[in-house]
Structure 1
Amino acid sequence: MGIYEKLLTLQAKLKVPKGQYSDFGGYYYRSCEDITEAAKPLLLEVKAVLLLTDEIVVIGNRTYVKAVAKLIDTESDGVVEVDGYAREDESQKGKDVAQITGSCSSYARKYALNGLFALDDAKDADALPPVQQPAEKPAGKVTSHQLAQLQALAKQKGVAVDSIVAGYKLNSLQDMDTKQWAQTMNSLRKRADAQ
């Protein structure tokens, strides 16, 4: 079996469910670690090795992490490789430089692995290539589940829901949109719990 037959086998057999949940974005996704863990037994089966490497590259005036996912055939030394890119933010609240680069590396590696193993992330919030900026979507209405999450967190933090409604000049909490909900949840998470 040549390297491309091995890759075909991996692409056909590799199943990686989206088992991670983003509270902030409200969507399910798969992580880089999910993909590599699911691939290990299949790599052993087809006698291939997966190597992941990172490199910092500058494109224009932006800094990116370029990840390379290499599939190496242990029987023939054949190699197939795919690149993935993710852009580093200038800064992210609560993260130091190493953490920013680390999370950027994880995204870039995930994109490279998705390309190599033909995994579809089309429904993920982070599915667009990082070089493109996703178009701003109009905010939708929050769900009853999201409202319950907000109310529970507000109570935990000692924040009156009426003050949130007044802050956004809404008639009621049910008039909140998803953008306002995300901003409020972020703000509440940063507060200390009520005594």
Structure 2
Amino acid sequence: MNLCEKVQKIQNVLNVKKSRHNEFGNFQYRNLEDILKEYKKISKEYGLLLWFDSEPVRIGESNYIKATCYVKDVETDDILTSSAYAKEPPTPKAKMDESQCTGSATSYAKKYAFNNLFLLDDSIDPDSNQNVDNGAPANEATIKTIEELCKKHNVNVQELYKRRKIKGTPTALQAALILNKFKKDFGDE
């Protein structure tokens, strides 16, 4: 079995539940440690070595951490890689110093580099056919999170809703897309 076939086998069996809960954003998630714990359970039988590399990069006016996930077949020395970026916040987040923010961005980038390589996905692709708005309203905790994030990042919530053609309360899907945008733009979990 070659490296691509081994990775494909892992892609088909690796399942990591979102067993952690974020009180602030009211959502379930999994962290890098959860993912690696499950990966280690199955990778040994395929003879794969996994490691990460990370580096700071400047893109435009912003600092990012670029993480690369490497998987090497110990029998053939063949290597596959995947990279992902996480934006560092311009100022440290509440209760975090600068090094903790960099560490958080590094973990986040590593998680997504791994997810890309092994096809773990955290959200519905906005362009997929699964992304259908059933009209269900967003819950109060989600709306409150959006309002708090708008305040934190000096975004006018009414203008945000207007740009997204939301009249009144956003649907659950609209709210999820807004939260994904904050996560992408500002690194908010």
Question: TM-score per shorter chain, which class?
Answer: 0.5 to 0.7
Q: 1:85 to 1:180 in 2, by over 3 A?
A: closer
Inter-partner Cα distance in structure 2 for 1:62 and 1:75: 41
Point out where structure 1 has 5 or more consecutive residues left out of the alignment. 129-138, 147-176, 187-195
Inter-partner Cα distance in structure 2 for 1:180 and 1:56: 29
Q: 1:179 to 1:17 in 2, by over 3 A?
A: closer
C-alpha displacement of 1:8: 0.6
1:178 aligns with 144
Tell me which amino acid in the other structure corresponds to 2:144: T
Inter-partner Cα distance in structure 2 for 1:60 and 1:68: 21
Inter-partner Cα distance in structure 2 for 1:56 and 1:97: 13
Per-residue CA deviations over 1:42-97 (Å, capped at 9, x if unaligned) read: 11010001111111111111100000001100000000000010000012122111
Inter-partner Cα distance in structure 2 for 1:71 and 1:102: 22
Q: What does 1:1-150 correspond to in 2, within 5 Å?
A: 1-91=1-91, 92-123=93-124, 140-142=138-140
TM-score, structure 1 as length reference = 0.65
Per-residue CA deviations over 1:90-109 (Å, capped at 9, x if unaligned) read: 12122111100010011101
Per-residue CA deviations over 1:133-189 (Å, capped at 9, x if unaligned) read: xxxxxx9451xxx5xxxxxxxxxxxxxxxxxxxxxxxxxxxxxx5248858xx9xxx
The structure 1 segments of at least 4 consecutive aligned residues displaced by more than 2 Å after TM superposition are 177-183
Q: How many residues align?
A: 139
- RMSD of equivalent CA atoms: 2.5
TM-score, structure 2 as length reference = 0.67
* Amino-acid identity (%): 34
SS in 2 for 1:55: strand
Which of the two has higher C-alpha Rg? 1
